Amino acid sequence: MHNQLITGIMACDLMGAIGKNNKLPWNAEEELEHFRKTTVGNVMIMGYQTFAAMPERALENRWNIVFSRTARVQIKENIVFVSSLQEFLILINDYRDHKCFMIGGAQITNLFLVNNLIAEFILTKFKRVYGGDVFFPLHLLENWSYNIISEHKDFIIYKYLRG
Evaluate if residue 105 carries a pLDDT over 80. yes
Evaluate if residue 5 carries a pLDDT over 70. yes
Evaluate if residue 142 carries a pLDDT over 50. yes
Q: Residue 75 — pLDDT band, cuts 50, 70, 90?
A: confident
Evaluate if residue 31 carries a pLDDT over 60. yes
Domains and CATH numbers, the chain: 6-143 (3.40.430.10)
Evaluate if residue 68 carries a pLDDT over 50. yes
Evaluate if residue 64 carries a pLDDT over 50. yes
| Ramachandran category for residue 105: left, alpha or beta (phi over 0 → left; psi -120 to 50 → alpha) | beta
Instruction: Give Cβ neighbours of residue 109 (< 8 Å, ≥ 6 apart).
Output: 8, 10, 102, 136, 137
Nearest to 107 by CA among 143, 79, 135: 135
Say if residues 30 and 152 touch (Cβ distance below 8 Å).
yes
pLDDT: which is higher, 55 or 135: 135
Mean pLDDT of 88-116: 94
Evaluate if residue 2 carries a pLDDT over 60. no
Residue 7: its H or E element: strand 6-12
Evaluate if residue 4 carries a pLDDT over 80. no
What is residue 3's predicted lDDT score, i.e. its pLDDT?
58
Across the chain, what does the average pLDDT equal?
A: 93
State the Cα angle at 125 between 78 and 45, rounded to 5°: 20
The DSSP output letter for 71 is: P
Evaluate if residue 72 carries a pLDDT over 80. no
Evaluate if residue 1 carries a pLDDT over 70. no
Mean pLDDT of 62-69: 94
Residue 9 main-chain phi, psi, to 5 deg: -145, 120
